[in-house]
Amino acid sequence: MQIFILWILLVLVSCASLRDSPVLNQQINPYSSPLKAQYQIIYQDNIPYLWINAPKQAIQIGFSCYKDIRKNHLIFEYERDFRTSQYKSIRIKLEQMPPQFWFFITLTNLETGSKLEDAIPVFQNEDNPHTIAILDTNNQAILQQWVTTNTRFKLQHNNPQTTHLYIKYYGDLTQPAQLPTDTFDTRVSIEDYQSVARVPIDKEIQFSEIGSYWIQSDSNSKTGLFILCSSSAFPYSIAQTTSIDCMRYLCPEQEFQSIATATKPQNKLRAYWANRTQKIRQKNKASKPLISVYYNRIQKANALFSGWQKGCLVDKGMAYIVFGPPDKVVKWAQKELWFYHSNAYRNPLELIFHRQNNRFRLDRSAYLNLPFKKSLYNWKNGFIE
């Protein structure tokens, strides 16, 4: 009898965990794909469309929509080949979608065979990147969550009864993410905005102030769409302050302060990297262009994760700079898992990011102390690609 009760308990626990589990064996990594495609589901006139911007190449688009992440109830399935040199962007209408669904996409370069796979949870009944569309002056969707000061655009909302949107301005938030080993909380509250404006739907606007903006249909809502406004060269031009701030992730506090407080910090930063590579050469180890990797990761983090702040200053960006792109990404509706496989320079690693107010926060714990220190050692000794 006790064995039977124990078996029942195990079944119940398994079922409970399954409800919150991703698709079995699902391997996706949208952050290291060679396709460099942009894609987003955006509601327009209360109808969801898949927008895709891809490089000029022949690609195959395949996707499926399910009512839940376990793929129990198929809603919609699609596959088609495109030659994207014929398109500025591709827009595909999704038919009769429920208010909440899971979208699974596969993009394949038909010339090289390289793939991009991703899973996206879509919620129609809240303010988020799906329900608030950012359109340029040609009514083409802007798929990233950042614009520049010379960008003119307009906003749309999937709810036809919404005539205005509220835009809260937070200023230029330059504080870098906490380290994986930090236990204190320095997060900026979403209530700490500097100003709020009420803007009509479909009216062309242009942000004149660099900084972070939160867009909502109701100023009291707990959900919204973050947009970062930066200089015209963003994300490829990296400001001196940004390149210095991100060094906080990669060197001990004393070394960081010696760079940040120098009379000419950029010169001090160059000297730091030159000293690193010189020491690597003296140890007869392969000298790698560490500073090139460093700036490249900052640029990619800015392109991929900007919204609440510059991408290199949020938790995902910090992890991307320190550990590199993950080998595997698995998504739930409210969290992401990044997996790093073991190699000659690291042990297996898992990073958990939780979604809060459409921001992702790293789950910091003592478990990350050792892999973080190991990664700093790798940066210091040139074991970074």
The three-state secondary structure class of 352 is strand
CB 248 within 8 A of CB 264: no
Name which of 189, 155, 195 is nearest 175 in CA terms: 189
* pLDDT of 340 strictly over 80: yes
Model confidence at 14, in pLDDT bands (50, 70, 90)?
very low
What is the distance between the alpha carbons of residues 105 and 35, in angstroms, rounded to a whole number?
13
- Residue of 340, 301, 299, 304 whose CA lies nearest to 320: 301
Contact criterion met (CB below 8 Å) for 250 and 180:
no
Determine contact, residues 44/134, Cβ cutoff 8 Å: no
Which residue is listed with tokens 């040199």?
A: 85
The DSSP bridge partners found for residue 157 are 132
- Nearest one of 293, 291, 338 to 319, comparing CA atoms: 338
Half-sphere exposure of 351 (CA within 13 A, CB side): 27
- Residue 88: count other Cβ atoms within 10 Å of its Cβ: 8
CB atoms within 10 A of CB 137: 10
Task: Label residue 9 exposed, middle or buried (CB < 10 Å: 0-12, 13-18, 19+).
Answer: exposed
Tens digits of residue pLDDT in 233-272: 888 878 888 888 999 999 888 888 988 888 888 888 888 8
More confident residue, 365 or 352: 352
Stronger pLDDT, 28 or 129, i.e. the higher one: 129
**Which range among 32-36, 102-106, 354-358 has the greatest average pLDDT?**
102-106
Residue 13 scores a pLDDT above 70: no
Q: Give CA 172 to chain center in angstroms.
A: 19
Question: Any idea where the domains of the chain sit in the sequence?
Answer: 38-123, 132-230, 240-381
Q: How far apart are CA 213 and CA 66, in angstroms?
A: 32
Query: Within 13 Å, how many C-alpha atoms sit on residue 259's CB side?
Result: 24
Homologous superfamily of 38-123 in CATH? Immunoglobulins (2.60.40.10)
SS3 call for 204:
coil
Map residue 320 onto helix, strand or coil: helix
Calculate the average pLDDT of the chain. Answer: 86
Q: Alpha carbon of 208 to those of 140, 141, 213, 284: distances in Å?
A: 21, 21, 12, 51
pLDDT tier at 311 (50, 70, 90 boundaries)?
Answer: very high
Antiparallel, parallel or unpaired: β 225-230 and 146-148: parallel
Specify whether the CB–CB gap between 42 and 49 falls below 8 A. yes
